[in-house]
């Protein structure tokens, strides 16, 4: 058994320690907010937080998350009113929505580190891919949430 702390709760999972964390979150724990996109650390659809840092869970072995605080989109805010989520709604960012949980988690981690990021900071730190091309709205929403997260 492996013990993981996910969204503030300790969960015991009977999995191979090499299994990617995304599999455990989605298939074992039923937390389907983080998405599978490329499976190669390229798209960011699977982004969750590990001790506050944005990580791509599709390649991270579950063993690497032991003893750390894992937060998924489901645990970002108890009622879905994190400043990034509010800005996402106000700016009507999502189109199909598939990439958006990963985007929100990447942005929430960025704003913890840099409360008022420049466009260059955003380009450097939020490298997630959106097939629908919501990038302009994402940028607008990040600036709207800046200083509030």
Binding residues for ligand FES (CB under 6 A) = 36-39, 41-46, 56, 58, 94-100, 130-132, 134
Nearer CB in complex with ligand FES: 76/138: 138
Strand order across the 47-50 sheet: 9-13, 2-6, 69-71, 47-50, 53-56
Is 100 in contact with 93 (CB distance < 8 Å)? yes
Nearer CB in complex with ligand FES: 12/63: 63
Rounded least distance, CB 113 to ligand FES, Å: 20
Nearer CB in complex with ligand FES: 3/87: 87
Name the strand (E) or helix (H) holding 137: helix 135-145
Residue entry with tokens 């990021």: 117
Rounded least distance, CB 99 to ligand FES, Å: 3
């Amino acid at each position: 058994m492996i013990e993981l702390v996910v969204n503030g709760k300790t969960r015991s999972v009977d999995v191979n320690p090499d299994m990617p964390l995304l599999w455990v979150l989605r298939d074992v724990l039923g937390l389907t907010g983080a998405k599978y996109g490329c499976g190669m650390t390229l798209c960011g659809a699977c982004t969750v937080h590990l001790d506050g840092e944005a990580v791509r869970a599709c390649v991270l072995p579950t063993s690497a998350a032991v003893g750390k605080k894992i937060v998924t989109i489901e645990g970002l805010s108890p009622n879905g009113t994190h400043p990034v989520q509010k800005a996402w709604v106000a700016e009507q960012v999502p189109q199909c929505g598939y990439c958006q949980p990963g985007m929100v988690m990447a942005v929430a981690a960025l704003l913890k580190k840099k409360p008022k990021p420049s466009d260059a900071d955003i380009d450097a730190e939020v490298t997630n891919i959106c097939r629908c091309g919501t990038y302009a709205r994402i940028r607008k929403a990040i600036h709207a949430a800046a200083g509030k997260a």
